[in-house]
Amino acid sequence: MRKKFVAGNWKMNTTAEEGVKLAAAIAREAGSLPSDVAICPPFVYLQTVASALKGSRVALGGQDMYFEAKGAFTGEISGAMLKDVGCAYVILGHSERRHVIGETDALINKKMHAALVAGLLPILCVGETLDERESNRTMEVVGRHVREGFKGLSAEAAGKVTIAYEPVWAIGTGRNATAQQAQEVHAEIRGMIQQMYGPAIAQAIRIQYGGSVKPENAREILAQPDVDGALVGGACLKADSFLAIARA
Ligand code: 13P
């Protein structure tokens, strides 16, 4: 049985003070949560937020990283640096990085390899745009994101990955995928992982749904057999709503 995993992607939000308050409020309640939980603050607040999480069961994650280990890469952050400040996870290939910053599948694949070498657990985001869904290309796009993201990963490495299915049209729009739409794509993704790595990895790997998850819709979405948790944006910036999702 896969344990649910709920992660909060703070994106480019909060001040240091707000971040510490939010993290502390989540940490206080975390002991009673049925799911695994992680929060992913902006890079500059990782260390202060890590102190607020000390001794709790809330894991810390980065929102991105670069694939090189070190050197002249102005503005970038390595996997080892994320590890060094206490991260267990790193989000890779988020749709905002694909579509706003212009990251390619090839770049994201390099980051996947580098994250695993650094000892981080990647959360690989995949998902189609509205246009792609409406032209019936959802699985073509999601399939490519999965295949290219996992390219060259051994079964052992693949087993450390969480996949987040985040339809681009559902992110920050208030228009979540229905539980059925999510389940359909999650089942297809699990089928792909089974073809690539066999049934044991496919059954163990966790696939989160992300895109306008709120306390009001979390229970129905998380009740789907292939939905193993949520990657939450807007609703993770308030401790109450993030905790309510993690309890759902
Ligand atoms: P929202 O929950 O704000 O739609 O964002 C989802 C997301 O992008 C999480 O990574």
Ligand 1 neighbours (beta carbon < 6 A): 9, 94, 166, 171-172, 210-213, 231-235
Quick: pLDDT tens for 13-38. 999 999 999 999 999 999 999 999 99
Catalytic member of 96, 103, 166, 186: 166
Q: What are residue 124's DSSP bridge partners?
A: 92, 163
Specify the residue with its C-alpha closest to ligand 1, atom 2. Answer: 233
Mean predicted confidence (pLDDT) in 227-246: 98
Mean pLDDT of the chain: 98
- Helix H or strand E segment including 97: none
Q: Is 166 a catalytic residue?
A: yes
Q: How far does the centroid of ligand 1 lie from the alpha carbon of residue 10, in Å?
A: 9
Q: Is 96 a catalytic residue?
A: no
The 10 Å CB-count burial string (b at 16+, else e) for 117-152 is ebebbbbbbbbbbeebbeeeebbebbbebbebbbee
Q: How far does the centroid of ligand 1 lie from the alpha carbon of residue 170, in Å?
A: 8
Whether pTM exceeds 0.85 = yes
Q: How far does the centroid of ligand 1 lie from the alpha carbon of residue 214, in Å?
A: 10
Helices (H), 45-98: 46-53, 79-84, 95-96
- Classify domain 5-247 by CATH number: 3.20.20.70
Quick: pLDDT tens for 37-51. 999 999 999 999 999
Nearest-atom number in ligand 1 for the CA of 212 is 4
Q: Where are the domains of the chain?
A: 5-247
